[in-house]
Amino acid sequence: MLYLMKKRATVYLVAISAVLIITAAVLVLSLFTTNPTKLGPAGVTFWFINALAMVSSLITIISFKLKSRNLKNKDDQLVLFRSSLRFGSLLGFSIVGLLALSSLRSLSWRDILLFALIVIVVEVFFRTRKKVA
């Protein structure tokens, strides 16, 4: 059973790595071939979704690798991957959300504080909730 959980976490990690490589390539290509005025609203939205996928997958991989260096966490790789995926998604949404607000010129210090507060509340909620059997 333990081998199966490690294998499943490895498969997920490879999938997230593939997403990272593809989205990074698309993002770099779009930076050199287009500009926001040519893209239009749908293209800019796609660009931000692509950036979200890239940032989230990058943070997920880094978080998983850093957490898996701890010897206690070697047993339950799948739980560790889910935790890293949640953290990567949460931080990715925050970074890209702040970037989107900045590009619209509507980012203020209150927005930054609100994003930080939301991230902290969501992370505390997921870390302290009880497991349902």
Domain spans in the chain, listed from the N-terminal domain onward = 2-128
pLDDT digits (tens, 9 = 90+) for 6-44: 677 788 889 999 999 999 999 999 888 888 778 788 888
C-alpha distances in angstroms, 105 versus 2, 98, 102, 111, 126?
Answer: 50, 10, 5, 12, 32
Look up the pTM and report it.
Answer: 0.81
> Residue 68 has what pLDDT?
82
Tell me the average pLDDT of the chain. 84
> Residue 128 has what pLDDT?
86
The stretch 86-112 carries a mean pLDDT of 88
Give yes or no for residue 2 having a pLDDT over 60.
no
pLDDT digits (tens, 9 = 90+) for 101-117: 888 888 888 888 988 89
Cα(26)–Cα(51) distance, integer angstroms = 9
Show contacts of 3-10: CB within 8 Å, 24+ apart: 5/76, 5/77, 5/78, 6/77, 6/78, 8/77, 8/78, 9/77, 9/78, 9/80, 9/81, 10/77
Helix (H, G, I), strand (E, B) or coil at 69: coil
pLDDT digits (tens, 9 = 90+) for 54-78: 999 999 999 998 888 875 656 678 8
